[in-house]
């Protein structure tokens, strides 16, 4: 009986370790990282969604705007509720590989854009400007009629749904991988409630939120967890196990900050010898495509982003890590080198697509 109980205890301990539950301290650290990442990402998206909703509500009526918000929120809640339990049923290695790859692709996009904004090579997200744009667009349609205003409902629904999809993606990937979808959803809900409370108090876009700084932090967290989980999912082991996250996160943050300083200095040097130029922003969607093609393109851009090379590099790095791990070689170091190289390469490529920008009062 003692031997049997010992084997069962060992098996249970091994299972808890595979789920990230083997040590209370480690579990607490992983839980904190999960909550902080989801909270920050959700705060950024909630601020952007709130700006749209406030503008629509001020011009087309609160009833129609709130109907759109509630409808989008219910759809997003159903999405998390249905997919969350389904994802947790996948084998842990497959789940970590897929989640790790998606988080890395997603996180590197956030990092690249945050660095380009800090360097003045990409326009910063101005909530005041977005608010004024939405106000003007809604006012041009004239007064609202009785009943539900379809324009107000559609704009509020679309704004909340599009921003919320990124939140749902982060909630599902983080939560499912650690079997803590509830914790991730709670962190997201707290962020939304906080933004709503502040927005209701000031009745204006939250322009003072350090959005680019938050996006940089979110990019670091998503990329760090994606790199960690993806490496483990393909069979490689990190030195120190879960505790290696305490090194991965600050190391990636320092690398991103160093790259941002270098790119900013190069951009400033380029500005000194050029005329005042501005990034024209995102290109207008190609209206020649049909609705189905546009929908498929939207899914592609949501998952892969606007730089397929980064996505391909992440997949290639995971394949190389898997091959090295199966050859009984130490393979954990491949992913950090690949992530650093992909970040530098994507920023270098993006710098040739935009012109330095002059901002009143500095970048």
- Where do the H-state alpha helices sit in the chain? 2-18, 24-60, 62-88, 92-118, 127-139, 150-177, 181-202, 211-233, 245-272, 291-304, 308-326, 334-351
Nearest alpha-carbon partner for 263 in 146, 206, 344: 344
Q: DSSP for 193-213?
A: HHHHHHHHHH-S--TTS-HHH
Please provide residue 163's backbone torsions phi and psi, each rounded to the nearest 5 degrees. -70, -35
- Rounded Cα distance between 54 and 132, Å, is 11
What is the Cα–Cα distance from 342 to 133, expressed in whole angstroms? Answer: 35
**∠ at Cα 18 (13, 20), nearest 5°?**
90
Q: Say which residue the tokens 């680019």 belong to.
A: 212
**Cα 362–chain centre separation:** 26
Q: Can you give the pLDDT of all 363 residues of the chain as single tens digits?
A: 444 444 444 444 444 444 343 444 444 566 777 788 889 888 888 888 888 888 888 787 888 889 999 999 999 889 888 888 888 788 888 989 998 998 899 899 989 988 888 777 776 665 666 666 666 666 666 555 556 788 888 888 988 988 888 888 888 888 888 778 888 889 999 998 988 888 777 666 665 667 778 888 888 998 999 999 999 999 999 998 888 988 999 999 999 988 888 888 877 776 655 544 444 444 444 545 566 677 677 667 777 777 888 999 999 999 999 999 998 888 999 999 999 999 999 998 887 665 544 443 333
Tokens 């939560």 sit at which residue?
Answer: 175
Q: Both tokens of residue 129? A: 């400007």
Q: How far apart are CA 171 and CA 94, in angstroms?
A: 18
Give the relative orientation of helices 150-177 and 24-60 as an angle to the nearest 10 degrees. 180
Boundaries of every domain in the chain: 21-351
Cα–Cα–Cα angle for 342, 87, 247, rounded to 5 degrees: 40
Structural contact between residues 331 and 325, judged by C-beta atoms closer than 8 angstroms: yes
Are residues 112 and 346 in contact, defined by beta-carbon separation less than 8 angstroms?
yes
Q: How many CB atoms lie within 10 A of CB 246?
A: 12
């Amino acid at each position: 009986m003692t031997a049997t109980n010992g084997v069962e205890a060992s098996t249970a301990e091994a299972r808890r370790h595979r789920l990230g539950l083997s040590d209370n301290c480690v579990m607490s650290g992983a839980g904190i990282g999960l909550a902080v990442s989801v909270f920050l990402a959700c705060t950024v998206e909630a601020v952007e969604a709130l700006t749209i909703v406030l503008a629509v509500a001020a011009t087309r009526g609160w009833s129609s705007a709130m109907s759109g918000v509630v409808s989008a929120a219910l759809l997003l809640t159903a999405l998390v509720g249905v997919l969350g339990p389904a994802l947790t049923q996948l084998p842990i290695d497959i789940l970590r590989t897929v989640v790790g790859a998606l988080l890395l692709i997603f996180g590197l996009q956030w990092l690249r854009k945050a660095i380009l904004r800090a360097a003045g090579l990409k326009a910063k997200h101005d909530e005041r400007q977005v608010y004024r744009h939405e106000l003007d667009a809604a006012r041009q349609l004239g007064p609202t009629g009785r009943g539900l205003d379809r324009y107000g409902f559609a704009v509020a629904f679309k704004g909340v749904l599009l921003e919320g999809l990124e939140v749902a993606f982060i909630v599902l990937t983080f939560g499912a991988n650690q079997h803590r979808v509830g914790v991730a959803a709670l962190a997201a809900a707290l962020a939304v409630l906080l933004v709503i409370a502040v927005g209701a108090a000031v009745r204006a876009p939250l322009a003072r939120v350090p959005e680019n700084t938050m996006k940089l932090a979110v990019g670091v967290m998503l990329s760090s967890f994606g790199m960690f989980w993806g490496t483990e999912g393909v069979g490689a082991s990190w030195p120190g196990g879960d505790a290696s996250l305490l090194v991965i996160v600050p190391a990636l943050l320092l690398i991103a900050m160093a790259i941002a300083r270098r790119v900013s200095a190069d951009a400033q040097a380029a500005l000194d010898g050029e005329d005042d130029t501005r990034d024209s922003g995102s290109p207008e969607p190609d209206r020649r495509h049909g609705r189905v093609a546009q929908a498929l393109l939207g899914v592609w851009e949501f998952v892969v982003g606007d730089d397929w090379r980064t996505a391909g590099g992440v997949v290639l790095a995971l394949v190389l890590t898997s091959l090295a791990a199966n050859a009984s070689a130490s393979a954990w170091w491949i992913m950090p080198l690949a992530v650093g190289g992909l970040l530098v390469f994507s920023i270098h490529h993006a710098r040739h697509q935009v012109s330095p920008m002059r901002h009143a009062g500095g970048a």
